[in-house]
Amino acid sequence: MAPASLILLGATVILQVDLLPDKKFLLLPPVNFTIKAINLAQVLLRWEPNTDQEQRNVQLGYHVKINAPQEEDYETRNTESRRITILHKGFSASVQTVPWSDRSLQPSSWVSAELRAPPGSPGTSIVNLTCTTNTKANNYTHLRPYQVSLHCTWLVGKDAPEDTQYFLYYRYGSWTEECQEYSKDTLQRNIACWFPRTFINSKGRDLLAVYVNGSSEEAVIKPFDELFALHAIDRVNPPAKVTAEIEGTCLSIQWEKPVSAFPVHCFDYEVKIYNTRKGYFQTEKMTTNTFISVIDGISEYSIQVRAAVSSVCRAVGPPSEWSEPIYVEDSKTE
């Protein structure tokens, strides 16, 4: 489970008058605390300051505690926040008033709210949801020179009726799309989805939200959602135009960066050289797109290169597949 992200909104609350606090000064909990689903895998938490709060020369804030689906807490001086999180397990949180600077004061009691898990029969939701993205050159516009595809697969729930049909949606930032291209099993149930073009930014840092619900005449199908970090699911393209030549005792290999929105300095490479005569592999890691090796003896070489986006440009993810092998041999080979 990829980690959740947080955007805080709202007005800062400062209760301030001219009296000093005393031992009887009590903080009252916020009122009208609500949690509302506002988008796929996104909720809005909102509350109001307690109008019965005695006003003193004290700056107040709020301590928010997420109880489910994953425990976490934070403090804020705002009166609402947006939370990106899975919702198929439900969502609950608590909030209390806290002194922002004078920690000698005791916080208020907690108030809580929740979103219940959506209805559905057990065992009917999809399982084993996996998604991958891939970047291709976009020859149709200069405004978006690259396009990102999305491919997701899943398994049918073990107790889903035979007439179950599933439907997939994704959200990236403010964009939400429903799948139009499905693959089906032998019972004509959707088990995979393909978006040839999406609104996903391959260099973006937002989480990708994927949501799958379903329908059946025999049962209520429980929905499922998941969050994906792009760096973890991106299928980086292999390096392009790999070439090699032997001059004397030097094997020189060159290639171009993969098709990607990331610039050339954002890639690390690994070169794999197979000596077909001696039967051994040599692998080398580097940050440039050229490799020169001294060779010893007459032989033929099989060469492949793969790439990964460097940690200087985004979080580390899996490398690309190896490029198709190319073969080069010493011109003195008989």
Residue 18 covered by a domain: no
Q: What SS3 class is residue 253?
A: strand
Give the percent of the chain with pLDDT over 70. 90
- What local confidence, expressed as pLDDT, does residue 12 receive? 34
* Whether residue 215 sits in one domain with residue 141: yes
On the question of pLDDT at 296 being above 80, the answer is no
- What local confidence, expressed as pLDDT, does residue 11 receive? 34
Which of 234, 253, 283 is the C-terminal boundary of a domain? 234
Which of 234, 251, 267 is the C-terminal boundary of a domain? 234
- What local confidence, expressed as pLDDT, does residue 103 receive? 79
pLDDT tens digits, one per residue of 210-241 = 999 999 999 999 999 999 999 999 999 999 99
The tokens describing 108, both together, are 């208020």
Residue 10 covered by a domain: no
- Displacement of CA 88 from its chain's centroid (Å): 17
Range of the domain at 257: 236-329
Residue 12 covered by a domain: no
* Whether residue 108 sits in one domain with residue 158: no
On the question of pLDDT at 45 being above 80, the answer is yes
Residue 2 covered by a domain: no
* Whether residue 280 sits in one domain with residue 224: no
Residue among 255, 239, 178, 172 nearest 207 (CA): 172
* Whether residue 201 sits in one domain with residue 157: yes
* Whether residue 143 sits in one domain with residue 200: yes
Residues 156-182: what's their mean pLDDT? 97
Which of 95, 115, 135 is the C-terminal boundary of a domain? 115
CA dist list (Å): 132 to 36, 153, 192, 212 = 30, 9, 12, 16
β-partners of residue 278 are none
- What local confidence, expressed as pLDDT, does residue 332 receive? 58
Q: Indicate the pLDDT class of residue 130, thresholds 50, 70 and 90.
A: very high
Give the residue carrying structure tokens 């799309």: 177
Residue 131 covered by a domain: yes
* Whether residue 139 sits in one domain with residue 226: yes
Per the document, the length of the chain is 334
On the question of pLDDT at 333 being above 50, the answer is no
Residues 111-117: what's their mean pLDDT? 96
Give the residue carrying structure tokens 């109001």: 48
Task: Report the distance separating Cα 89 and Cα 120, nearest Å.
Answer: 11
* Whether residue 35 sits in one domain with residue 95: yes
Report the range of poorest mean pLDDT among 268-277, 289-298, 302-311: 289-298
Residue 67 covered by a domain: yes
Task: Report the distance separating Cα 15 and Cα 39, nearest Å.
Answer: 33
- What local confidence, expressed as pLDDT, does residue 56 receive? 77
- What local confidence, expressed as pLDDT, does residue 9 receive? 36
Residue among 69, 165, 51, 79 nearest 117 (CA): 69
Residue 3 covered by a domain: no
What pTM was computed for the model? 0.85
* Whether residue 151 sits in one domain with residue 198: yes
The tokens describing 92, both together, are 């609950």
Q: Indicate the pLDDT class of residue 269, thresholds 50, 70 and 90.
A: very high
- What local confidence, expressed as pLDDT, does residue 298 receive? 75
* Whether residue 227 sits in one domain with residue 147: yes
The count of domains in the chain is 3
Give the residue carrying structure tokens 């001219």: 18
Q: Which has more confidence, 143 or 309?
A: 309
On the question of pLDDT at 114 being above 60, the answer is yes
* Whether residue 230 sits in one domain with residue 133: yes
Backbone angles phi, psi at 6, to 5 degrees: -135, 135
* Whether residue 242 sits in one domain with residue 229: no
- What local confidence, expressed as pLDDT, does residue 96 receive? 97
- What local confidence, expressed as pLDDT, does residue 3 receive? 45
* Whether residue 167 sits in one domain with residue 88: no
* CATH code of the domain covering residue 170: 2.60.40.10
Residue 66 covered by a domain: yes
Residues 244-272: what's their mean pLDDT? 94
- What local confidence, expressed as pLDDT, does residue 145 receive? 85
Report the range of poorest mean pLDDT among 167-181, 184-198, 286-300: 286-300
- What local confidence, expressed as pLDDT, does residue 279 receive? 84
